[in-house]
Amino acid sequence: MKKPLFFFIGILIIASCKNVAHQNAQNEYVNITGIDSSIKPGDNFFMYVNHIWYDTAQIPPSQAGVGAYMFMNYPQRLRLQGILDSVSKAANTMGSIEQKIGDFYASGMDTNTINQRGYEPVKPLLTHIDSINNTAALLNFVADETKNYNNSIIGFYISPDNKNSSMNIAHVSQAGIGLPQRDYYFSTDSQSIAIQNAYKKYISTLFQLTGTDAATALKNGDIVYGIEKQIASSHRTNIELRDINANYNKMSVATLAKRQPNIDWNNLLNNIGAKTDSIDVSQPAYYDKLNSLLKSVPINDWKIYLKAFTLNNYADILSKPFVDAGFEFNKVVSGQAVQQIRGEKIANAIDNALGEALGQLYVKKYFTESAKKRSLELVNNLQKAYAIRIDKLDWMSDSTKQKAKEKLFAITKKIGYPDKWRDYSHVTILRGKYFENTVSAASNNYQFNLAKLNKPVDKTEWFTTPSTVTAYNNPSANEIVFPAAILQPPYFDDAADDALNYGGIGMVIGHEMTHTFDDQGAQYDKDGNVKNWWTKEDYAKFKAKTQQVIDLYSSFTVLDTLHIKGAMTVGENTADLSGVAVAYDAFKMTKEGHDTAKIGGFTPDQRFFISIAKIWRVKMKNEFLRLWINNNPHSPPVWRVNGPLMNSPYFYEAFHVQPGDKMYLPDSSRIKIW
């Protein structure tokens, strides 16, 4: 099933004969041979460290990029595939997590059965759509499918109330489009037009695969695209979606029912099982538009739209022709040359569907308690360094500093894996039933989330799996989370010295802490409520500094004339800038941070910055880079290195950066926020 788009294992070794082995491991880990001395560090530090690797690295045909960061999930999937291969061949107790994920994997790998079934699994849904003859019946179908996470025109979910973070409430957000975001429907550059045409062709192909003649299928593609374009006109842009207050609009269901009578909110909420008298409508203009379209678009066109959305949602779990059609479209969007191997794809699907079940086996095999302990030590050291930095700020008043430190020390730290695991006892998994297994897991996930409605927030819950190379900050819970999978090289390795670990996972930790104080996080208080804790004067100074970040990153050219979207990436860029700064301060609190001894010809400070460049070592296809710029709130990897470093005075000292170097900024132009 289609899932929305969008970091690390280390082993703590304690031994009495540590010194020699530790030194050798450090020398090996630094990989001095990868440095390109023909490039001045002050001209392009990313390439100074990564150029030799970059020129020789081959992007696997099944991927859109290679290297660290999100592309580390490629080797992670191979690890998971190894676990799944083993479990699927074992004799497992019925109902155990091993049975569920083993049989799920076997069902997904059974392509003969999947191909023989063709589109038979979705025929009942298509027949149901054929029987729709009015708006009420249309919305009933939408509600039924919402409970399987086939979200078409209603973007329903449960999460904390922005103004009362201890309680979960109902939310609805803009939905209804198949392209990544609204601008794809209105852009007229050649790449966007190619994507628009590929999307219409894909929709037409889906209809042809269910027996529709070619001419009608082409017409259907145009109808679906036309409806989606009307919907997209009401969507907010990615930049507008960053406005927390504008995207919080809690109102009574009674008010909604009067404002948007064609949606029939009372019946809709009842059908999806949501018993509530109020709801946060994140983007009201979308639902106003939907209310209008439900009346103006003919019911037969809506039926075509629902068929297209349903086929698209389930295409990945149907027979090969459907999977191939989806890939041909994705190839235009991302540049990926060939499809992922089947095992990798199914491993990813199970990680999404039964992530904490698979996570238990992953942690048991690849993560240690000592790694968790060492990682927590790093987090605590960064937290101490952050507090010192707050005390030294020259632009913030003492009263706001006090509140900032209260928020800093109220952060909940989650390392490795959850303290308690999800219960998947209500998920039914059978061999030979890949479609049904996927729907069962999706339905269970929906019910799991629905059960939270109007209940206190469970602050032990995780929103990623232990095996995903990621990290995140959840402002409504004031927490930072580092799954097991990010706690491995190049981010963290106990065999490496402090310089490399503080430059690696230290930057990531500092980055996530800074999200507590970025343009969005700064609007939440220490308890996770959207509530002002700033003086008016301090917040005005803070906004001026974030505007500096927007202006600087907007000046960076990524591809041809394509620039970073500074206003869309400001939160992540702020986190990168301050993440490097606080990681460096924490590093200087260690014994090695005061040392000048070289390893592999590099001082501790130089190794710290080299590590930063290595953790963002990524090479990607131009098509995927364009997709990234338009949709990803992070800057491309090269600017996650060069952007922060050109603002760090300690980088200038470590590598003797001088006026005339391409990364040089005069001291007065360097940005310091936190």
228 shares its domain with 190: yes
- For residue 65, being part of any structural domain is answered with no
- For residue 284, being part of any structural domain is answered with yes
398 shares its domain with 327: no
* Cα distance between residue 522 and residue 507, in whole Å: 19
**Predicted confidence band at 70 (pLDDT cuts at 50, 70, 90)?**
confident
Give the per-residue pLDDT at 33. 63
Backbone angles phi, psi at 16, to 5 degrees: -70, -25
556 shares its domain with 486: yes
Percentage above 70 pLDDT, the chain: 95
With tokens 């930790």, the residue in question is: 509
What does the pLDDT average to over 57-74?
A: 89
CB 209 within 8 A of CB 321: yes
DSSP SS3 for 106: helix
Percentage above 90 pLDDT, the chain: 90
Residue 522 reports pLDDT greater than 80: yes
CA dihedral sign, ordered 181, 184, 185, 186: positive
Least confident of 11-20, 224-233, 286-295: 11-20
Among 301, 257, 298, 296, smallest CA distance to 279 is for 257
* Cα distance between residue 383 and residue 283, in whole Å: 36
- For residue 592, being part of any structural domain is answered with yes
What does the pLDDT average to over 320-324?
A: 98
Residue 492: CA count within 13 A, CB half-sphere: 33
| pLDDT tens per residue across span 544-577 | 999 999 999 999 999 888 999 999 999 999 999 9
Residue 12 reports pLDDT greater than 60: no
| pLDDT tens per residue across span 644-666 | 999 999 999 999 999 999 999 99
Domain that holds residue 96: 72-118+320-366+426-456
CB 200 within 8 A of CB 254: no
Residue 8 reports pLDDT greater than 60: no
What are 173's strand-pairing partners?
155
Give the per-residue pLDDT at 475. 96
Q: Dump the DSSP string for 537-583.
A: HHHHHHHHHHHHHHHHHHT-EEETTEE--HHHHHHHHHHHHHHHHHH
Give the per-residue pLDDT at 14. 22
For residue 250 the two structure tokens come to 């809690």
171 shares its domain with 76: no
Q: What CATH code is carried by the domain that includes residue 577?
A: 3.40.390.10
Among 217, 175, 179, smallest CA distance to 198 is for 179
Give the per-residue pLDDT at 89. 95
340 shares its domain with 489: no
Final residue in a domain of this structure, among 291, 318, 345? 318
What does the pLDDT average to over 366-386?
A: 92
Total of domains in the chain: 3
378 shares its domain with 521: yes
* Cα distance between residue 467 and residue 363, in whole Å: 8
Give the per-residue pLDDT at 560. 84
CB 276 within 8 A of CB 453: yes
What does the pLDDT average to over 437-458?
A: 97
Give the per-residue pLDDT at 74. 80
- For residue 99, being part of any structural domain is answered with yes
DSSP SS3 for 647: coil
Residue 176 reports pLDDT greater than 90: yes
- For residue 84, being part of any structural domain is answered with yes
- For residue 78, being part of any structural domain is answered with yes
546 shares its domain with 612: yes
For residue 550 the two structure tokens come to 């927007």
Residue 20 reports pLDDT greater than 60: no
134 shares its domain with 43: no
* Cα distance between residue 506 and residue 332, in whole Å: 37
* Cα distance between residue 634 and residue 639, in whole Å: 9
Give the per-residue pLDDT at 10. 26
Q: β-strands 412-416, 479-483: how paired?
A: parallel
Give the per-residue pLDDT at 496. 81
**Predicted confidence band at 519 (pLDDT cuts at 50, 70, 90)?**
very high
* Cα distance between residue 644 and residue 652, in whole Å: 12
- For residue 9, being part of any structural domain is answered with no
215 shares its domain with 309: yes
Residue 13 reports pLDDT greater than 60: no
Final residue in a domain of this structure, among 284, 318, 352? 318
What does the pLDDT average to over 90-109?
A: 96
- For residue 225, being part of any structural domain is answered with yes
| pLDDT tens per residue across span 149-164 | 998 999 999 999 999 9
Average pLDDT, the chain: 93
Give the per-residue pLDDT at 9. 23
Q: Where are the beta strands (DSSP E) in 345-496?
A: 412-416, 472-474, 479-483
CB 30 within 8 A of CB 599: yes
**Predicted confidence band at 32 (pLDDT cuts at 50, 70, 90)?**
low
Q: Which amino acid type is present at position 357?
A: A
**Predicted confidence band at 1 (pLDDT cuts at 50, 70, 90)?**
low
Q: What CATH code is carried by the domain that includes residue 185?
A: 1.10.1380.10
294 shares its domain with 341: no
Q: Which class for 519: exposed (0-12), middle (13-18), buried (19 or more C-beta within 10 A)?
A: buried
109 shares its domain with 128: no
For residue 402 the two structure tokens come to 């006090």
337 shares its domain with 396: no
DSSP SS3 for 474: strand
Give the per-residue pLDDT at 28. 44
Final residue in a domain of this structure, among 318, 350, 384? 318
